[in-house]
Amino acid sequence: MIESEQTSAGMFAGGLAGTIAQGARRMGGRRAWPPYELIDRDAIERAEAKSRRLERLYHLTQEHAWDGKAVLGALVDKHGQPGRDMDPEIRESLTQVLAVLLWGELAAWTISADLALAIDDMDAKMAATGQVFDEARHFYVLRDYLVLLAGEDRVPPLGGLPRRLLLDVMETPSLAKKLVGMQLLFETNAVVIFRRLAESGVCPVLTELLPYFERDESRHVGLGVIFLPRLIERMSRGEATGVAAFHLRCIAMLIGGGFMLRQHFEALGLDQRLMATRVTTMQDEIVRQMVQAHGSGIVRALLNPKASPLGPRVLDFIHPPGGLAGAPDWHRSLHAGVTRVVKAVDRALA
């Protein structure tokens, strides 16, 4: 069952719910009644603008919907069967990376369906419903591509770490944790990996196919940006700390997942340091947008690896600026030790 972190006012007044809740907190429970914010022109305009942006996400989904079967079919006709002339090692690495993304799409489909069911606010519910439609398409198109690339019995099983991460976000009863896991973490990582894979030119079908995915994923981030702060604003300090702890745990599992795919990203010529930097820059931009619109109070439930003093150090340790081969001996042996531990955890969780 999903925890309801909203007030029923969300159903009726959309973005006004956050304003009302804020007012109630300021004035102390029932003493806040009547909610004078409801007749405050600025507050109404701010709330209506947020609702319009959420409602727009749904209509954008409808406008930009694409026919997955037709797009993939046309690209295969144009370029030939994926992987036909590919080096077997490259094909294996591409299969390994895409297999993780495939199950990520299935998880995103399930999570967005949960959100569409659980969110009371009508505009946010419409945005989540639009996302369900997109994620279903992403899943079947990626599945059809992978079957063409590797053969249906050659798609590898999901490793223990990514499996645990996807299950954690799917199984949490908290709407806020679902939004943090999917909209802030999965979507930003997916956008960057899709873009880099398309740019790499590893497969001409993917180069033309993945921009369709990337456009949809970029739009999905919007639901988290607009709706998550409304939930955080109403949280107690303990609830907010719980969301931040969940965020940290998901980041740790994502980093572990990155260790497991390291050799495959290298084989595909994808620079993990560059990708990690792009992901954290994107997340930093998202947190900035939230703070700009809702104030710095929302950061109590979120982490921002780019803004944290620890973030760049972790990045330099995992992906040293000049490459791991050029790092000092102590760094390489510590890195090898961490890799062994991550692989053992991945096996234990499988």
Task: Kindly list the residues in this chain that would bind Fe ion in the complex (CB under 5 A).
Answer: 105, 108, 135, 138, 217, 220
- Do residues 217 and 236 make contact, with C-beta atoms less than 8 angstroms apart? no
Tokens of 152: 């249906």
Residue number with CB closer to Fe ion (184 or 203):
184
Min separation Cβ 188 and Fe ion, Å: 10
Residue number with CB closer to Fe ion (114 or 239):
114
Min separation Cβ 183 and Fe ion, Å: 8
Residue number with CB closer to Fe ion (224 or 305):
224
Residue number with CB closer to Fe ion (185 or 268):
185
SS3 229: helix
Angle among Cα 24, 27, 28 to the nearest 5 degrees reads 75
Tokens of 94: 């591409």
Burial 19-52 (b: 16+ CB within 10 A, else e): bbbbbbeeeeeeebeebebeeeeebbebbeebbe
Q: Give the residue from 43, 222, 51 showing the smallest Cα distance to 122.
A: 51
Min separation Cβ 65 and Fe ion, Å: 13
What CA–CA distances, in Å, run from 9 to 116, 131, 223?
Answer: 17, 24, 19
Min separation Cβ 75 and Fe ion, Å: 18
Taking the alpha carbons of 303, 309, 310, 316 in that order, is the dihedral positive or negative? positive
Tokens of 229: 């702060």
Measure the CA dihedral 39/44/45/49, to 10°: -170
Min separation Cβ 218 and Fe ion, Å: 9
Residue number with CB closer to Fe ion (47 or 166):
166
Min separation Cβ 138 and Fe ion, Å: 4
Q: Where in the chain does DSSP place strands (E)?
A: none
Min separation Cβ 139 and Fe ion, Å: 8
Burial 199-225 (b: 16+ CB within 10 A, else e): ebebbebbbbbbebbbebbbbbbbbbb
Residue number with CB closer to Fe ion (104 or 229):
104
Residue number with CB closer to Fe ion (25 or 69):
69
